[in-house]
Amino acid sequence: MHWCGSHCGRAASGMFQEGALSGLKVVELTDRISGQVAGSFCARLLGDAGANVIKVESPEGDPYRRSGPYPGGVPDPDWSGLFLYLNSNKRGVSLDIESPGGRAAFLDLVAAADFLVLGHNSSEVERLGLRREKLSEANPRLIITTITPFGLTGPNSGYLGDDLIAIAAGGMAYATPGIPDSVGDPDLEPPLRSNTNMAGYLAAVQGAMASVAALLSRKIQGTGCEIDLSMQEAVAAVMPFELAHASYHDPKPRKPEIFGVMPNAYLPCKDGYVVVMAVMEAHWRNLMDLADNPDWAELEVFSSGVERARNWDALEPLLLEWTMAHTGAEIAQLAQDRGIPCFPAYTVGQMVDSAHVTERGFMVDMQGPGGQKFQLPGYPVRLERTPWQLFRPAPKLGEHTSEVLGEWLGYTAEQLLNFGVGA
């Protein structure tokens, strides 16, 4: 198999262990709006735990088949990097759910499933009739996990959104950069989003945990439920510390007051940027040791973390002299040897190539259609008994239509022809 790396040796040998969710069936339907990364990755996470996931795509295919990056740089709907990542551990069925036959087949799949994962906006969920009251009669045990930009209820539920809108409306953009980094001039520096589909991944992991919690509830109560997950709230939910500031004191200004104990700072160094953190007295003394115990280290104004915060304007240029004389790697090495949490800003390449990432075998080795070698992130959790496995690569468009409709639903060859699938 072309996609097997160090992290999935079992797949290479063709033997799989049972996952925690083995035997459970998932149907995923996402559309081309924001909810798509969230819905697709949520379903993938359930597949990662061994569930049998069916991704339903329209005949045109999932838009991420056309977003790249592509091995070799040549667009190919079966080799779009983001699609491969979001959709491994799934089988693919191609159905036009706007046609009566396609919709009937889709509803048959849903009736046979344990989970339905949706990534849409709320008006689309309503238009397609995918609410619990419509689906539970055919399948009362169905767990529906619906991820929308602002949720299915509430005054803003009709709003459209995407990752940027969720990061903004969930409070994350305003809070970025975060401590110990800080805004230079609030008038010049707008709130910031990271260039990733972060809100989508957040909502996906939370959607998966809501789904498994619902599975535990189903074990107790015997019935399924409808999970209504908002991407805005998915973002706000991972900021307990920012929310604590608002709840317990005052909302933090974008240009924060100096951290209460110093140094905890993000400073330029010889070849980039570095976090210098020595808020504990022992760390501070060790740090001053590294800086060859300059005379100023003994000054009364720097005698405690609180004093150092109070006199940060005087301390910062002195520390800068030291950081600018060293590379980030030197500072990290020196400091971490003494247990001081200092670290430089890595590039993506430095992270990927680090001995740590390599030794842990985190990345998954992939090979493109022309033999191009590349990697994708693996799974950040190691479960001893129910380990993460790459059971299968992302499906080609409609790859498993006949297999799934035949296996799950017992569709005959004749019925399959209606979907343009030769038996």
Site for another protein in 30-49 (CB under 8 A): 34, 45, 49
| Residue 145, C-beta contacts closer than 8 angstroms, at least 6 positions apart | 42, 115, 116, 117, 118, 207, 210, 211, 214, 227, 229
Q: Does 21 bind another protein (CB under 8 A)?
A: yes
**CB nearer to another protein: pick between 169 and 287:** 169
Shortest distance, position 340 Cβ to another protein, whole Å: 7
Alpha-carbon distance 21 to 208, whole Å? Answer: 12
What does each C-alpha distance from 256 to 192, 252, 342, 345, 361 come to in angstroms? Answer: 15, 6, 21, 21, 39
**CB nearer to another protein: pick between 139 and 217:** 217
**CB nearer to another protein: pick between 312 and 374:** 374
Task: Please choose, from the candidates 364, 357, 359, 393, the residue with its C-alpha nearest in 3D space to the C-alpha of residue 379.
Answer: 364
Shortest distance, position 176 Cβ to another protein, whole Å: 4
- For tokens 């479960």, the residue is 383
Task: Please choose, from the candidates 122, 55, 81, the residue with its C-alpha nearest in 3D space to the C-alpha of residue 374.
Answer: 81
Shortest distance, position 318 Cβ to another protein, whole Å: 21
Question: Binding residue for another protein (CB under 8 A) from 14, 100, 371, 380?
Answer: 380
Task: Please choose, from the candidates 363, 381, 393, 362, the residue with its C-alpha nearest in 3D space to the C-alpha of residue 83.
Answer: 393
Alpha-carbon distance 143 to 211, whole Å? Answer: 7
Helix (H) / strand (E) containing 276: strand 272-277
Shortest distance, position 45 Cβ to another protein, whole Å: 7
Instruction: Give the residues across from 349 on adjacent strands.
Output: none
Shortest distance, position 261 Cβ to another protein, whole Å: 9
Q: Which stretch in 107-115, 295-303, 382-390, 415-423 sits in contact with another protein by CB under 8 A? A: 382-390
CB 404 within 8 A of CB 26: no
**CB nearer to another protein: pick between 104 and 239:** 239
Shortest distance, position 292 Cβ to another protein, whole Å: 23
Instruction: Write each residue from 165 to 204 as x if it is in contact with another protein (CB under 8 A), else as -, in one continuous string.
Output: xxxxxxxxxxxxxxxxx----x--xxxxxxxxxx--xxx-
What number of CA atoms fall less than 13 Å from residue 151's CA on the CB side? 14
Residue 275 carries which side chain, given as an amino acid letter? V
φ and ψ at residue 235, rounded to 5 degrees: -75, -50
Shortest distance, position 304 Cβ to another protein, whole Å: 15
- For tokens 């697709």, the residue is 40
Q: Does 151 bind another protein (CB under 8 A)?
A: yes
Q: Does 153 bind another protein (CB under 8 A)?
A: yes
**CB nearer to another protein: pick between 82 and 116:** 82
Q: Does 52 bind another protein (CB under 8 A)?
A: no
Alpha-carbon distance 131 to 153, whole Å? Answer: 12
Query: Cα–chain-centroid distance for residue 37?
Result: 9
CB 132 within 8 A of CB 188: no
Question: Binding residue for another protein (CB under 8 A) from 385, 410, 414, 422?
Answer: 385
**Residues within window 108-127 making contact with another protein, judged by CB under 8 A:** none
Q: Does 420 bind another protein (CB under 8 A)?
A: no
> 166 exposed, middle or buried (CB, 10 Å; 0-12, 13-18, 19+)?
buried
**Residues within window 61-100 making contact with another protein, judged by CB under 8 A:** 67-69, 71, 81-82, 85
Q: What angle (nearest 5°) sits at the alpha carbon of residue 123, between those of residues 118 and 126?
A: 70
**CB nearer to another protein: pick between 259 and 302:** 259
**Residues within window 287-346 making contact with another protein, judged by CB under 8 A:** 336, 339-341, 343-346
**Residues within window 199-238 making contact with another protein, judged by CB under 8 A:** 201-203, 205-210, 212-217, 219-221, 225-230, 232-234, 236-238
Shortest distance, position 387 Cβ to another protein, whole Å: 9
Q: Does 281 bind another protein (CB under 8 A)?
A: no
Shortest distance, position 9 Cβ to another protein, whole Å: 16
Shortest distance, position 73 Cβ to another protein, whole Å: 8
Judged by CB under 8 A, the number of residues near another protein is 146
CB 295 within 8 A of CB 286: no
Q: Does 286 bind another protein (CB under 8 A)?
A: no
Q: Does 247 bind another protein (CB under 8 A)?
A: yes
**Residues within window 339-368 making contact with another protein, judged by CB under 8 A:** 339-341, 343-352, 354-357, 359-360, 362-363, 366
